[in-house]
Structure 1
């Protein structure tokens, strides 16, 4: 046998039937103002509607919630107990609703990031941040060079290879380390392995891959590594990202920053026969002012520092 009266006090599931929420709202307002008339005005109801709502609860609980004296009402002991519980319950509901609305309406954190770093480092790892912080929506924008905040983004990630004007809060993420990289099965085609214990040497006919956005990448690496790079053949590309893709395709040898190629190295797609050296630059997270604790920007900063290790 079944019943449509969910929450009946005699139900086998032990759920206690409570008065209607609308009636409880009328009671709570009357208890707070100690007046049916003022409660009716506050709720945009009639005096009779509030009075009937309170009477409904009293009949249901079989207790008197108010002492009625002339034109005033005063809470009884049980009325005071119920009023405190109802006020606390409505407060919890209101807090939850406010938090949900704030989360749903939270503006996206807009981050400007250098294109190659964006495509090869930030985007592949972003799902981890979203899983850890679903309350922080993120919108990514490709950009490079000096940063001017107030143009639609909140934070920026840049390598400090330019002069940044103006006061900007900066957090160092990681030092740039670069080295020649090529497709793993092409190492013998581009490098002379030499004798045991010696580092390989670039072959004279190795194809060096250059890019317009980092035209001095090979010269900088050769100077920092104290290594020659005198190969006679080269090929140039418009963007740094394309030169790395050309290395993946086996076209030649590119200068690859460790953070940008580490996934391909770990998967065995690329190889770095000569390792990596620091080139004197550092990637930074930039903000217009000091990042507030706690907050969405602080969550992103901490996550970036963790994944940059």
Structure 2
């Protein structure tokens, strides 16, 4: 009994013996490219492997599929008929595989986060979440201010310094604490001991780093810290993130939120000689509805709360 037969003996249903799929793939490439050499390059095989595969198909069918003239090959009538069928068959299989994979693929959790927090806090910690929850793919996008949840955005991390128009469910993550930060080796240039000796003060040579995306950062901090900063040199940057990078580079003193500079402080790059003060704002995780326990959203929420400690 032929092992390739399908069905009971005597059945009217009998399978047609097909050439091996790998050999048909080689034939398809050679037919499309009209060249054994180019087919070999496309499939990362040798010229000999393509030639042997095509010969196998020809032997199975008992007919020549190519006319070999010098260094070129041309499809015969039988070759063109088989090439058309094989191309359609592989196309149907590839389309079905692609569709099945899309159906079973877990959609990524799309999370919008304020740009500076995204770059300096969330992304460096994300590998930890991925290691704990490889089943929850996350797609991060940078964004600030009001967000339209449920329209391509599943969750958002925002500071509560604006009015969110749409009704959302908010989970508090951490309170914002800010303070002046500078490069460690610039401490003596930008700060001096106060007359009372309680904590350092900004020196007259300190260069205050401002940003257009948080233009009131220094004023807000000074109001909570009861500190005067008039008469000092300053430099302004387009984005808050750039002002923090300028502090890392030693250009001056920036207002650094604790969560955004904690890694640089822990690594000994930056220092915060005057400490950090709460400014009355907080970061929240925004969702379009209460988060269901055990869901991908809940896993990310719990991890964010842990990472914020």
Secondary structure at the aligned position of 2:134 is classed as coil
How many Å apart are 1:166 and its aligned residue?
1.9
How many Å apart are 1:202 and its aligned residue?
0.6
- What is residue 194 of structure 2 aligned with on the other side? 194
Secondary structure at the aligned position of 2:152 is classed as coil
Contact 1:207 1:231 in 2 (8 A): no
- What is residue 278 of structure 2 aligned with on the other side? 278
- What is residue 138 of structure 1 aligned with on the other side? 138
Separation (CA, whole Å) in 2 of partners of 1:124 and 1:140 = 12
- 1:105-124: CA deviations, max 9, x gaps? 10000100000000000000
- What is residue 241 of structure 2 aligned with on the other side? 241
Where structure 1 has 5 or more consecutive residues not aligned to the other structure, the ranges are 1-43, 50-100
- What is residue 263 of structure 1 aligned with on the other side? 263
Separation (CA, whole Å) in 2 of partners of 1:231 and 1:271 = 23
Change in 2 beyond 3 A, CA 1:229/1:289: same
How many Å apart are 1:194 and its aligned residue?
3.5
Q: Which runs of 4+ in 1 moved over 6 A?
A: 44-49
Contact 1:109 1:136 in 2 (8 A): yes
How many Å apart are 1:225 and its aligned residue?
1.1
Separation (CA, whole Å) in 1 of partners of 2:223 and 2:175 = 17
- What is residue 152 of structure 1 aligned with on the other side? 152
Contact 1:204 1:230 in 2 (8 A): no
Separation (CA, whole Å) in 2 of partners of 1:46 and 1:168 = 63
Separation (CA, whole Å) in 1 of partners of 2:238 and 2:145 = 16
- 1:121-176: CA deviations, max 9, x gaps? 00000000000000000110000000111331100000000011121010000000
Contact 1:168 1:288 in 2 (8 A): yes
How many Å apart are 1:102 and its aligned residue?
10
- What is residue 232 of structure 2 aligned with on the other side? 232
Report the aligned-residue RMSD: 2.2
- 1:226-283: CA deviations, max 9, x gaps? 1222242000000000000000000000000000000100111001010000000000
Change in 2 beyond 3 A, CA 1:212/1:245: same
Separation (CA, whole Å) in 2 of partners of 1:187 and 1:103 = 57
Secondary structure at the aligned position of 2:230 is classed as coil
The reply to whether residue 218 of structure 1 matches residue 193 of structure 2 is no
- What is residue 307 of structure 2 aligned with on the other side? 307
Secondary structure at the aligned position of 1:170 is classed as strand
How many Å apart are 1:205 and its aligned residue?
2.4
TM superposition score normalised by structure 2:
0.66
Count of residue correspondences = 216
In the TM superposition, 1:1-309 aligns within 5 A as 105-194=105-194, 197-309=197-309
Contact 1:178 1:221 in 2 (8 A): yes
Change in 2 beyond 3 A, CA 1:129/1:104: farther
Separation (CA, whole Å) in 2 of partners of 1:228 and 1:103 = 60
Contact 1:203 1:231 in 2 (8 A): no
- 1:46-67: CA deviations, max 9, x gaps? 7999xxxxxxxxxxxxxxxxxx
Secondary structure at the aligned position of 1:145 is classed as coil
